[in-house]
Amino acid sequence: MEDTKQPASLKRLYLTIDDFPTAASEDMLDFLVQKDIQPLIFCIGNTLQHQKRLAVKALSMGFILGNHSFAHQHFSKLSTKEALDDIAIADGLLEEIHAEAGVVWEKKFFRFPYGDKGDGRRGRIFTRSFFPWKKIKKNAIQERLAELGYAVPELPSITYAYYNQKLLQDKDLHWTMDVMEWCLKSDEGMFGIRTEGDVLQRLFSRNPFDCRGAVPEAQYGMLYSDSGEIVLMHDCEKTFATFKEVINEIHSEGYTFSGF
């Protein structure tokens, strides 16, 4: 890790977890309770429909569930109708699960698979779109999210200009810090991340590589900005050991996670 650190007290971290549910979900929920962390958990509909019990358990434990689409596809590859239908099917499923759990679905959050808003950039939000006509589809999707009651939570500790001036204008919840532990799903790794040590080194490095493109901030990341962070991790059996180690390391550095 780098020697020069930003005081941990300046940072507020918000944990978001994508791709629930999996074979690791039950152990993950228990681990999060043990650590007293209340994350926002984004659910994939086509797996959720076969694992409703886990979702009901998560709600009974006080966790917040969000919509991560039904089929987890790149929205840039979908037609407008396909995109709108995908969101609505997952929305209906989550509505049913909340009713079964006896929990009112007051806070509705949506996250696009791969951060792909359907505008042709496939999640590379810091690059210029070469498909300006796809903004029509993006706008239609955002309008549908608004109609269904999705919104972005107020997180005043997030002070990145790109987040507040651009991403906050949409109805889907993006992230500011991708842990990229998902690279370990591949035996060969990805983007030079092949081991748990690589994940941790990147996490605490200065201006770490970002799959979204060049981040338009002079400083960002866990240690080197005053902004809070919306942290992205994943529910995955293969990377669950690293998931736990990342959380433990973040705590050991003096950071804590806030609730939504």
What is the rounded average pLDDT for all residues in the chain? 94
pLDDT higher than 60, residue 2: no
Q: What is the pLDDT of residue 75?
A: 97
- Percent of the chain past pLDDT 90, that is, above it, reads 88
Residue with tokens 């949506």: 110
Q: Write the pLDDT tens digit of every residue in 197-252.
A: 999 999 999 889 999 999 999 888 888 888 999 999 999 999 999 999 999 999 99
pLDDT > 80? residue 46: yes
Sequence length of the chain is 260
8 A C-beta contact, residue 95 and residue 105: yes
Residue 133's pLDDT is 75
**Percentage of the chain with pLDDT > 70?**
96
Largest CA distance in the chain: 51
CA separation for the pair 218, 180 (Å, rounded): 21
Residues 112-143: tens digit of each pLDDT: 999 999 999 999 999 987 777 778 999 999 99
- Confidence (pLDDT) at 223: 82
Q: What is the pTM of this model?
A: 0.95
Say which CATH superfamily domain 12-180+229-235 falls into. Glycoside hydrolase/deacetylase (3.20.20.370)
Query: What is the token pair recorded at 10?
Result: 């300046």
Domain borders along the chain are 12-180+229-235
pLDDT of residue 206: 87
So what's the pLDDT on residue 3? 44
Q: Provide long-range contacts, Cβ within 8 A and 24+ apart, for 118-124.
A: 118/75, 118/76, 118/78, 118/83, 119/76, 120/76, 121/76, 122/74, 122/76, 123/74, 123/211, 123/212, 124/211, 124/212, 124/213
Cis-peptide into 21, omega within 30 deg: yes
| Residue that the structure tokens 């532990």 belong to | 181
More reliable by pLDDT, 10 or 120? 120
Mean pLDDT within 96-104: 97
State the pLDDT at residue 134: 78
| Residue 4 pLDDT greater than 70, yes or no | no
pLDDT, tens digit (0-9, with 9 covering 90-100), for 156-170: 999 999 999 999 999
Those residues whose C-beta lies under 8 Å from the C-beta of residue 248, and which sit 6 or more positions away, are: none
Q: DSSP label at 215?
A: -
Residues 6+ apart with CB under 8 A from 220: 160, 176, 177, 207, 227
- The Cα–Cα gap between 91 and 70 comes to 8
Predicted local distance difference test score (pLDDT) of residue 138: 94
Residue 5: which pLDDT band, with cuts at 50, 70 and 90?
low
Cβ atoms of 253 and 204 closer than 8 Å: yes
* H-helix segments, the chain: 25-34, 45-48, 52-60, 80-101, 134-147, 161-165, 196-203, 240-252
Q: What pLDDT shows up at residue 1?
A: 43
The confidence score (pLDDT) of residue 221 equals 87
Over residues 70-79, the pLDDT tens digits come to: 999 999 999 9
